[in-house]
A and B are shown apart, each in its own frame.
Chain A
Amino acid sequence: MNPGDSLPVKTFTITRADLVAYAEASGDHNPIHQDEDVARSVGLPGVIAHGMYTLALVGRAVAEWTGGAEVVDLGAKFTSPVVVPAEGGADVVVAGTVKSVADGLVTLALEVTCGGQKVLGMPKAVVREATIRA
């Protein structure tokens, strides 16, 4: 991986069933991720994905790009909710380029969108170069 390299764009679909499975697996049973009425009662447009689900998809994209390289840093702001409809799903698109390679660490620049709108602010992922198998 060299600075400026573009990585293959990844599109992942989030369904309500995924949110149920994620709630079980993560322990985050916040009803705003399950229940339309509760979500609307706190001013949300509908059931939204866990921010951590979207960040987990970034982790998934990074793992797919790097062959499961060791992640040193991963994070983002959850700037816009990913609304997940009852039928079908929400498509999250993860695009990445290699921003820098220094001191054995590869920093990726990321853009994460849903329906053309950015959903993560300042997303960042850093992996250990020696552990990349891609």
Chain B
Amino acid sequence: MPVDPSLVGREFPAPAPLTVTPERVSAFAAAVGHPGDAGSVVPPTFPIVLAFDAMQAFLDAEQIDLHRIVHGEQRFAYARPLVPGDELTATLTVTGLRQIGGADIIATASEIADATGAVVCTGKATLVHSAGGAA
């Protein structure tokens, strides 16, 4: 079933803020082998944790199954490095939608802000949704 085209422009906040704790950071860094002091160096792709929460809120709202989503593209622009102690929120906006060969290509932008409301990072993602039927 194709994704509803009226989605473009709609916003989906991540359901809860995320505190950048040394424990979260060191687990993330260990999983990808990122160098530096464990728990204090925040890997640059760490904001995906928040962006993913916002994406999941979007998928839940639209009843899209996560396993039918493949990540097509991700780009981050950073206003400043993340540091432990940051409390982050994210809001995802659907910025575009098109269909190619039975798949929905969903373009999104996620703004990740700190506790002061300042945007620390912007993530742009393309999600490829295969509607299913062919197994």
Q: Give B contacts to A, CB under 8 Å.
A: 24, 27-28, 30-36, 41, 43-45, 48-49, 52-53, 56, 66-78, 81, 124, 126, 130, 132, 134-135
**Inside 8 A of A5's CB, which chain B residues have their CB?**
none
Contact A43 B134 (CB under 8 A): yes
Chain A residues near B81: list those with CB within 8 A. 70-71
Chain A contacts of B74 at CB under 8 A?
51-52, 55, 75-76, 78
Which residue of B48, B52, B67, B72 is within 8 Å of A78 (Cβ)? B72
B34 near A24: Cβ-Cβ < 8 Å: no
Number of A-B contacts (CB under 8 A): 120
Bound-state Cα–Cα, A30 to B130, Å: 14
CB pair A24 B76 closer than 8 Å: no
A interface residues (Cβ-Cβ under 8 A, vs B): 12, 18, 21-22, 24-32, 38, 41-44, 50-53, 55-57, 59-60, 62-64, 68, 70-78, 121, 124
Task: Tell whether A42 pairs with B44 under 8 Å between CB atoms, given A22-B32, A60-B32, A73-B76.
Answer: no
Q: Which residues of B contact A21 (CB under 8 A)?
A: 27, 30-31
Smallest distance from the beta carbon of A51 to chain B beta carbons, Å? 4
**A68 CA / B81 CA spacing, docked (Å):** 11
Please judge, given known A-B contacts A42-B130, A56-B43, A77-B72, whether A63 and B35 are in contact too, CB under 8 Å: yes
Known A-B contacts A75-B76, A76-B74; A18 and B31 likewise in contact (beta carbons under 8 Å): yes
A34: min CB distance to chain B, Å: 10
Contact A75 B73 (CB under 8 A): yes
